Structure 1
Amino acid sequence: MQGHKLAVVCGGSIAFAIASMAALPFGPRIVFDAPDRPNGGGSKTAAELAAEFKRDFDTKHDKVKEIAEKALAEAEKGTPLATTAKELADQAIKGMNDAKARLDELDQKMAHRGGDDNDHRTAGERFVENDDFKAFAGQTRPRGRVLVEVKDITSLTTDAPGSAGALVPVDRRGVQVELPQRRMTVRALLMPGQTSSNTIEYEQEKLFTNNAAPVAEGAAKPQSELQFEDKVATVRTIAHWMRTSVQILADAPGLRSIIDQRLRYGLSYVEENQLLNGSGTGQNLLGLVTAATAYAAPGGLAATTQLDTVRLMILQAALAEYPPNGIVMNPIDMAAIEMEKDDTGRYIIGNPQGTIQKTLWGLPVVETQAMGVDKALVGAFNLAAQIFDRQDATIDVSTEDQDNFIKNKVTIRAEERLAMAIYRPQAIVYGDLGRVA
């Protein structure tokens, strides 16, 4: 009933403001940069900002409530609301709306900074911009450890949505002379997956005996056999660490370069070799080369060149009912094939003046130095195996070491955990190209 009277006296403005108070958002959500405080603090937390906005809103709310109570009392007496009182009410409502606008702005900033779908920062940028790391590095004498999950590595985009900006804005150069880096290609060939366990149990097809045949009416039907073998893929850890000066914690670009150009790359380098050549013993993954079916020229055909050998590998996989979708070779062998000429000196598979598409017999060629020289791997990779990521690349920084304390050092560790299941060894064929005697 009171809300109805307010709507009559004040045109609904005060009633609307009071009714909408409960819906206004409060609570710590995000951290914003703010001018330095007198006591040395550099920024306000979301909780502090929310408390400040709430105090401002409560003050304006009390003023609106006071005017509303007076307006109700006058309305019950039948006394019209004075012009001055109405102006005060309008001013109070305006102040209340301003406070609401500030809260809306807080929510908008939270939505803008909180999403990760379009986050294109590198692992190093995510690490140095993480709030836990900032608090850790901001200590006068950092002690303890901080763990940050950096996940996938993408291209450098420092002003991408969600970026917190540079910690060290002056002379931001990072590492000027970078180490040469191998392009990682094998992971993209395989079916991706995730797991929350330490082991993957799966069934590998071992034998299929197909006895299907035309059958006369009333006669017994032939029986076929399909045998499976239980297999276990164990999650393995790939990790390494390095020690550096504790001053690196205050140099965001330098730390980011160490993470991106050294630690994260080191994991990917070893991962690529494990996916291809892992022995499956000890702490090694079972790699594609180790699990693959050995090349044996099918159909009584003989290969006289490297191209012939690759073609027969493709045929071998196709005859096993797994049409291949790719070829893995060492760059040296691919270069040798591209340099082959006919009797007139013309290149067989391409023009050196143009762009030679990396394909052989209609299949894309993936070049990697992780593959041995004079070797090739052909197969239906998406059907043959699957990667299961247990833990994406994680960066861990710690000063918890006596040697670190004495020498003013900090330890930075990177690690990841994954497993690989080989479903169909017949889908991948591995063998010599015959170029090297």
Structure 2
Amino acid sequence: MSQVTIEAIAAEVKALVTKVNASQEASQEDLAELKEKLLKLERKTAAGVEELRGAADPLAALAKKLKDSDAMRDVFSGRGSKAGIEFKAADLFQTKATITNQSTGADTPMSQAQRIGIVVPTAVDVNLAILQAIPRGIATSSSVEWVKMTAAKQLAASQYGSPDREGVAKKESGFTFSLQRADVSTIAHWTPVSRQAMDDVSGLAEFLRAELFDGVRRELIRQILVSDGDDAELEGFAKPGNFTTLADVVSGEGRIERIRRTIAKLQALGYTPDAIFLNPLDWADIELQKSAGGSEEFLAGVPRGVNAASLWGVPVYAHEYQPEGTLTVGALAQSATLWMRQEAQLLVTDSHADFFVKNTVAMLAEARAAFTIARPNAIARGLF
């Protein structure tokens, strides 16, 4: 109803009623003027109703109430000079749908969603923790040669030859070595990204940097834990000749006992184990073990506390690259070295293919390293 509004009609009605109430002795001319205005008001309302083509309109009901009012008829005929007409809110205003901010269906939320952008992970990095646990060395060439001790016979003793303590031969120990060589492996990956995205998306560059570095670290750990050295990979714990077997199986023992006896096996060889590698599912099984006899106390885990992951005083590293059902216990400080030819670094360039004309850059992270185990009997590995 383009020509008639609720506000305009309500204002006119209010003005007319006020004028009628104020005119206790209105003249015929005044009443005629009021009657003419009411007739015009009725015509406006009728026109509006016609425009709405029969749609329900509160103005039509308002006009009808004015027309049918006995008090108004008395004013128009001169039998009265004052009229009071009651209007309810529903007579003047239509009830509309409730205003909401729902985001379903065809409705669009009126409030703008908060966009926080790309979030750079800040969780504890088990990959970095493992790399920090392994002794480091600096590689100065594309390959590393080292001496691996394959056998040792230590016979240190007091100088004595009955009955003499001097002038007699001392005990002789024996060691067997082999010269080994490990090539430096380049571990890298990259991703393309447009300059516009780098400029416009807050946090994208930092996110990509973190993800690329994390990918290099994860691959370093994977190769150390499970690689046998094929396909230019590091010669890790799984390479034949780089480990000894776990302690023998004892009937009826559990995993916690097996780990303890493996630690003892290495200790009996003169080593101090400083790392246990488990699959997260195996570690969870161990932490969830409960004591027998009805107390049901956890043997290794404390649900309500922050647990230092360790067993028998040896740190535990639970990593998804450690195969499920496989245990590795090692004296890393006495046997293993990660030789870094190049620490992980990030390179960014548009000098690739047609990237320059496409406004695209390549982000690349890489590291160069070799891994050696000088004392294989200081690493115990196998199924458990």
Normalising by structure 2, we get a TM-score of 0.61
Q: Would you say 1:199 and 2:137 are equivalent positions?
A: no
Which residue of 118, 124, 130 maps to 1:175?
118
**C-alpha displacement at 1:426, in angstroms?**
0.8
**C-alpha displacement at 1:258, in angstroms?**
1.2
Q: Which amino acid aligns with 2:212?
A: L
Mapped contact 1:286–1:420 kept (Cα < 8 A) = yes
Describe how 1:270-285 pairs up with structure 2 within 5 A. Answer: 270-285=219-234
Q: Would you say 1:323 and 2:272 are equivalent positions?
A: yes
Which residue of 206, 215, 229 maps to 2:161?
215
SS in 2 for 1:270: helix
Q: Which amino acid aligns with 2:118?
A: V
**C-alpha displacement at 1:222, in angstroms?**
5.2
Q: What does residue 432 of structure 1 align with?
A: 383
**C-alpha displacement at 1:432, in angstroms?**
1.8
Q: What does residue 268 of structure 1 align with?
A: 217
Q: Deviations over 1:195-240 (max 9, x none)?
A: 2211222111111234556534465555432111111122110011
Q: Deviations over 1:47-66 (max 9, x none)?
A: xxxxxxxxxxxxxxxxxxxx
SS in 1 for 2:203: helix
Q: Which runs of 5+ in 2 are unaligned?
A: 1-113
Q: 1:392 to 1:356 in 2, by over 3 A?
A: closer
Describe how 1:51-200 pairs up with structure 2 within 5 A. Answer: 175-176=118-119, 183-184=126-127, 185-200=129-144
Mapped contact 1:244–1:409 kept (Cα < 8 A) = yes
Q: 1:309 to 1:417 in 2, by over 3 A?
A: same
Q: 1:188 to 1:303 in 2, by over 3 A?
A: farther
Structure richer in helix, relative to its length: 1
Count of aligned pairs between the two proteins: 260
Q: Which amino acid aligns with 1:255?
A: A
**C-alpha displacement at 1:304, in angstroms?**
1.6
**C-alpha displacement at 1:364, in angstroms?**
1.9
Q: What does residue 236 of structure 1 align with?
A: 185
Q: Would you say 1:404 and 2:361 are equivalent positions?
A: no
Q: What does residue 334 of structure 1 align with?
A: 283
Which residue of 340, 355, 358 maps to 2:306?
355
Distance 1:254 1:372 in 2: 33
Identity of aligned residues (%): 29
SS in 2 for 1:349: coil
Distance 1:289 1:402 in 2: 39
Q: Deviations over 1:297-342 (max 9, x none)?
A: 2xx9556211111011101111111121221212211111111122
**C-alpha displacement at 1:356, in angstroms?**
3.3
SS in 2 for 1:239: strand
**C-alpha displacement at 1:182, in angstroms?**
5.7
Structure 1 vs Structure 2 CA RMSD: 2.8
Q: Which amino acid aligns with 1:247?
A: Q
Structure ID, larger Rg: 2
Q: Which runs of 5+ in 1 are unaligned?
A: 1-170
Q: Would you say 1:259 and 2:212 are equivalent positions?
A: no
Q: Would you say 1:392 and 2:304 are equivalent positions?
A: no
Distance 1:293 1:337 in 2: 23
Q: Which amino acid aligns with 1:183?
A: V
Mapped contact 1:399–1:405 kept (Cα < 8 A) = yes
Distance 2:190 2:124 in 1: 18
Q: What does residue 194 of structure 2 align with?
A: 245
Q: Which amino acid aligns with 1:343?
A: G
Distance 2:371 2:119 in 1: 36
* Structure 1 ranges of 4+ moved more than 6 A: none
Normalising by structure 1, we get a TM-score of 0.54
SS in 1 for 2:215: helix
Q: What does residue 365 of structure 1 align with?
A: 316
Q: Which moved more, 1:251-260 or 1:415-424?
A: 251-260
Mapped contact 2:119–2:207 kept (Cα < 8 A) = no
**C-alpha displacement at 1:391, in angstroms?**
0.9
Q: 1:172 to 1:371 in 2, by over 3 A?
A: same
Distance 2:267 2:313 in 1: 14
Distance 1:408 1:238 in 2: 27
Mapped contact 2:120–2:207 kept (Cα < 8 A) = no
